[in-house]
Chains A and B, each alone.
Chain A
Amino acid sequence: MEFLGDLLANYTLRTVGMGAVFLGAVNGVLGSFAVLRKQSLLGDAISHAALPGIALAFLLTGSKATIVLLLGAAAAGWVGTLLVANIVKNTRVKYDSALGLVLSVFFGAGLVLLTYIQRMPVASQAGLDTFLFGQAATLLSRDVTTIGILGSAVLLIVLAVWKEFKLLCFDPDFALSIGFPIRWLDVLLITLLVTSIVIGLQTVGVVLMSAMVVAPAAAARQWTDRLGAMVAISAFFGALAGGAGALTSSLVARLPTGPTIVLYLTVIVLVSLLAAPNRGVVWNRVRERVNRNSLQAEAVLADLHVLAMRHENPGHGHPISVLRTMSIGHGGVDRSLEVLRERGLVRRTEDGTWSLTARGLEEAERLAGRRGEGP
């Protein structure tokens, strides 16, 4: 509690923490749409492409105000996205190459401009390079205000066109057929994505911003099949990692913010991939096991049924060795028999052999019928 008290009292930590939490949430929301639309790597391209915009904005205006740099970044990110789309449309260069081309060439051009600025005789250029890796500690309260205003605008617009975005993600053809302005929605979604990425650059940095877009959404996707829930969970994950990462890096010396946030995100993704109900890897293993066991039990029941049909007396007992022979390669006959006995489908006779109970016979016939082999 004392720690929390310190936290709230410490101006820098509070500013940084709030900024990063909000940032994570906004990117979590927009990232959900990007991931669902298979545009996960677009975030990578946009954030790299933003660099020359930041440098140009500074060169043209001489101002280091966050909003000016962000406008430059957004314009460049937007142009980069547009170029990717145009290259794919007009040439045989594929999407991934266009993406890599734009991101690396823009980044290179950004570096040229940044180094050019650094060698200019103006002193005020320092700080531009925090955009590479991001340094939450450099956030000022007016930066957080900028993040807050732009982020809120992004979230409000998403809410306003929720239905349209949902259709855009899941059934763009249908959306087009009922007369939705698909092209404009696409442009709007990209613009919002660019905005949400750009406001994160100062905190997380160009190089790792893409993880802020992909990771929360990919993690959230594991926990739900509903878009609304996914967006909410993704926002929560983003906020959690953003806050935790920014705070950790503020408290520990020489711990860059971007990578720290990404590591928190990675942990969240791993936990989600492993443990999420229904989809998670662990969950799937358990379900497979349960399925396999019940399938094996059914197979043994079917074997007993086959044997019983060959006898005039269906209650005749059969030794376990026969059943083992019949299910060679499947194993687990003992366990399956135990399971079946617990369900009252088979019983053990006095001489140690196994036979179907009346209910077992009924069940076996029902299963055989379902397989299309029955009477």
Chain B
Amino acid sequence: MTAPQVEIQLIAAVVAVSCALPGTFLVLRRMAMMSDAISHAILFGIVLAFFVVRDLSSPFLVVAAALTGVLTVSLVELLNRTGLVREDAAIGLTFPALFSIGVILVARYAGSVHLDTDSVLLGELAFAPFNRLEVMGYDIGPRALFLMTGIMLVNILFIAVFYKELKLATFDASLAGVLGFFPGFLHYALMSIVSVTAVGAFDAVGSILVVALMIAPPATAYLLVDRLSLMLAVSALLGAVSAVSGYWIAHILDASIAGSMASAAGLLFGAAYLAAPGRGLIALTARRVRQRWKFAQTMLLVHLYNHEGLPEEVRENRISNLHDHLKWDHRFTGRVVAVAGRQGLAESRGNYLVLTERGRRSAKEAMVG
């Protein structure tokens, strides 16, 4: 690995971790689409700030982005409060408007500088190592790495300091309000954090992939763990894994790094969606199948028990007619009977089926409780 390759992966991982942390709260608070809205709308603030300071690396841009994020959230809430449009429509109206103004300003007045619409949307991580940070003449590393590490630390600090408040406001907003935890303040603080993270990250990975990194790792973690602290750690880890594996996918395909990182994050989600222990599709299906068999087994035992020792027993419990009484198809009945035999719950006597002692006990248990 060359030095720039290492640097790119480091930046990517730090970006992903920075995004995953606030993203966890967005996913839990059902505000995932706010990240979409904010990451688009900040373009407006960035462009305005850029026109003022004429420097893309100025910290002023980060402040402008945070303010724009808060503006976006306020506009959505303002629209929502008029009661004229629903919340989803309010989001869908606000960010395209701000983003459009941003795009038009860039297209008309900033076309020649680095701030072009493609880089805003798509980012270009491969160029990040070329922009160095020099302290007193010494090259100490890529600027983006320092910026994003700073943002990551701010995010970690914010979550560490307000962990209890964030947790309460996330899971019980009204109680948090009653206890005087200022859920409104936390809400705007979180949105500012999201905006700052988005502005730091969008230079590297573009605005839409900020959304991928904010939502996909936390959503994946949500399928894997139950504790908030664990979910934060797992989504940070998943983010880092997506970043590094995304880099190598991009390397192999010679394609967009940011796009590959988003794809990797998506693949991880897909894997968890299928195979998460207990919650994945495979586990769900297996449980459904198991329940179906268990239910069928119980039905068979209860049926046999109900007719046991009665005159109609031979007719009702005849193996070849069982499917008719239980309304199953032939093959299914055959398999249920076979399983019941194998487990020693029932045995065939001539052409009809009788319960064993164990089977009788199970049937009674099933009928009692």
Which A residues are closer than 8 A to B by beta carbons?
35, 38-41, 43-44, 48, 87, 90-101, 103-116, 119, 129, 132-133, 207-208, 210-211, 213-215, 217-218, 221-222, 254-256, 258-260, 262-263, 266, 269, 273, 279-281
Is A115's CB under 8 angstroms from B92's CB?
Answer: no
Given contacts A38-B88, A260-B104, contact A215 B93 (CB under 8 A): yes
A92 to B219 alpha-carbon distance, docked (Å)? 9
Q: Does the CB pair A101–B215 fall under 8 Å? A: yes
The residue from A105, A112, A210 contacting B249, defined by CB atoms under 8 A apart? A112
Please give, as numbers and ranges, the residues of chain B lying within 8 Å of A107 by CB-CB distance.
Answer: 208-209, 212, 259, 262
Query: A25 CB to closest chain B CB, in angstroms?
Result: 19
Chain A residue contacts of B118, Cβ below 8 A: 129, 132
Report yes or no: A105 in contact with B255, Cβ–Cβ below 8 A: no
**Pick the contact of B100 from A98, A208, A254, A273 — CB < 8 Å?**
A208
- 3 nearest interchain CB pairs? A108-B262, A111-B259, A105-B266
Contact call A96/B32, Cβ cutoff below 8 A: yes
Cross-chain contact A35 with B266 (CB below 8 angstroms): no
Query: Residues of B contacting A133 with CB < 8 Å?
Result: 103, 117
User: Is A266's CB under 8 angstroms from B259's CB?
Assistant: no
Q: Output the residue of A44, A95, A104 with the most chain B CB within 10 A.
A: A104
Q: B216 contacts A101, CB within 8 Å?
A: yes
- List 17 A–B pairs whose Cβ atoms lie within 8 Å, in order of A's numbering: A39-B88, A40-B92, A91-B273, A96-B30, A101-B212, A103-B211, A105-B262, A109-B262, A111-B255, A111-B262, A112-B250, A112-B256, A116-B255, A221-B85, A258-B103, A263-B97, A273-B79
- Interchain CA distance A247-B249 in the complex, whole Å: 42
**Contact check: which of B40, B93, B121, B215 meets A269 at CB < 8 Å?**
B93
**CB within 8 Å of A: which residues of B?**
26-27, 30-33, 35-36, 40, 79, 82, 84-86, 88-89, 91-93, 96-97, 99-101, 103-104, 107-108, 111, 117-118, 121-122, 208-209, 211-212, 214-216, 218-219, 222-223, 249-250, 253-256, 258-263, 265-266, 269, 273, 279, 281, 284
Closest partner residue, chain B, to A91 (CB atom): B223
B96 touches A208 (CB 8 A): yes
Most chain A CB inside 10 Å of its own CB: which residue of B92, B219, B269: B92
List B contacts of A215 (CB < 8 A): 92-93, 96
**A101-B215, A101-B216, A222-B84 known; A108+B259 contact, CB < 8 A:** yes
CA distance A211 to B26 in the complex (A): 23
**In whole angstroms, what is the CA distance A35 to B89 when docked?**
7
Task: Tell me, in angstroms, the Cα distance from A98 to B220 when the chains sit together.
Answer: 11
Contact of B256 among A114, A207, A210 (CB under 8 A): A114
Given known A-B contacts A90-B281, A101-B215, A208-B99, A255 and B108 have beta carbons under 8 A apart? yes
Instruction: Given the known inter-chain contacts A208-B99, A215-B93, please indicate yes or no for A109 contacting B279, CB distance below 8 A.
Output: no
Please, which residue of chain B has its CB at the minimum distance from the CB of A272?
B84
Cβ-neighbour of A256 out of B26, B30, B86, B104 (below 8 A): B104
